[in-house]
Amino acid sequence: MRALLTALAAMFVAGSAGAAPPAQMELWRLDCGTAVVNDLDIFSDTFAYAGKTKRITDSCYLIRHGENYLLWDAGLPGALLGKTVNSGPFTMSLSTRIVDQLARIGVKPEQVTLVGISHRHDDHTGQLTDFAKATLFIGAGDFEAMKKGESAALIAPWTKTGAKLELLTGDKDVFGDGSVVMLATPGHTENHHSLLVRLPKTGPVLLTGDLYHFTENRTTRGVPSFNTSRADTLASMDRFEAIVKRLKAKVVIQHEPDDIAKLPAFPQSAQ
Ligand SMILES: [Zn+2]
């Protein structure tokens, strides 16, 4: 019996020694713009915010997984740099580009070989063409809508010059080890995604995309009037909150100044 146990123990040790260690990971929060919402009521289809305004952030994220880099969302257009532009509901400004922030931590744009986009809106896709050689992960319906609309130029590397593209209708386990997963949370747009990042020290972090735009939007399950589907949005909120509870995840609403402060200020990273 003892011999058998010794043999089993030896097999166990050999097995665990042969397994690859989990990849080293880091998460940086990037400044991808700022906006003042001049009519906050566009974020409610029940007239919850009539007459209100709010300053929101436009954050995007860089994730290192071993030697690989994934950019999550691509911010406001780079042409906005140093400007303030009023589009009616929003007054937008951009004080730094993504590529310039990457340079501060020694990451070249071509090292970012993977780009994940939460959804098709211009405040999440603005600087995409700075990463024209990366593999792009984006919801299939969002990509189709971009092809037909004013944002077509932003995806030209993936429609015209053959950069790699993966169109998603469900979840996407980016590195195949469960550490970074694009979660299908449709409703804000056709195939909107949120991002789960399981960091070794910080633990699970959930980046909302635009499933929510600010804290009160989350607590009241507010649905913006311009969403593609109210029913899908509410179902996505159900799924998202169940995951938050199960994993005890840290939630970061990407447009909420109070939430992005839960992650270290650039150039510090969460690990
Ligand atoms: Zn947005």
Q: Which amino acid is at 39?
A: D
Cβ contact 135:166 at 8 Å? yes
123 Cα: distance to centroid of ligand 1 (angstroms): 5
Q: Which amino acid is at 20?
A: A
Work out the burial of residue 215: count CB atoms within 10 Å of its CB; fewer than 13 is exposed, 13-18 middle, 19 or more buried: middle
Q: Which amino acid is at 82?
A: G
Per-residue tokens: 144:
């189709």
266 Cα: distance to centroid of ligand 1 (angstroms): 20
30 Cα: distance to centroid of ligand 1 (angstroms): 14
Q: Which amino acid is at 205?
A: V
Q: How far apart are CA 7 and CA 119, in angstroms?
A: 53
120 Cα: distance to centroid of ligand 1 (angstroms): 9
6 Cα: distance to centroid of ligand 1 (angstroms): 58
pLDDT at 11: 47
Residues paired with 144 in a beta bridge: none
pLDDT at 161: 87
Record the pTM. Answer: 0.92
pLDDT at 18: 55
Give domain limits for the chain: 23-260
121 Cα: distance to centroid of ligand 1 (angstroms): 7
3-state percent helix, strand, coil for the chain, nearest multiple of 5:
30, 25, 40
210 Cα: distance to centroid of ligand 1 (angstroms): 5
Over its C-alpha atoms, the chain yields an Rg (Å, rounded) of: 20
124 Cα: distance to centroid of ligand 1 (angstroms): 6
- Kindly list the distances between the CA atom of residue 139 and the CA atoms of 135, 136, 194, 216, in Å, as whole numbers in the listed order: 13, 10, 11, 26
Q: Which helix (H) or strand (E) holds 140?
A: helix 140-148
pLDDT at 21: 73
Q: Which helix (H) or strand (E) holds 217?
A: helix 215-219
68 Cα: distance to centroid of ligand 1 (angstroms): 26
CATH superfamily of 23-260: Ribonuclease Z/Hydroxyacylglutathione hydrolase-like (3.60.15.10)
Per-residue tokens: 191:
């195939």
122 Cα: distance to centroid of ligand 1 (angstroms): 8
9 Cα: distance to centroid of ligand 1 (angstroms): 53
Query: Considering all CA atoms of the chain, what is the largest pairwise distance in Å, rounded to the nearest integer?
Result: 78
Print pLDDT tens along the chain (271 aa). 455 544 544 444 444 445 677 789 999 999 999 999 999 999 999 999 999 999 999 999 999 999 999 999 999 999 999 999 999 999 999 999 999 999 999 999 999 999 999 999 999 999 999 999 999 999 999 999 999 988 999 999 999 988 999 999 999 999 999 999 999 999 999 999 999 999 999 999 999 999 999 999 999 999 999 999 999 999 999 999 999 999 999 999 999 999 999 999 999 999 9
Cβ contact 181:171 at 8 Å? yes
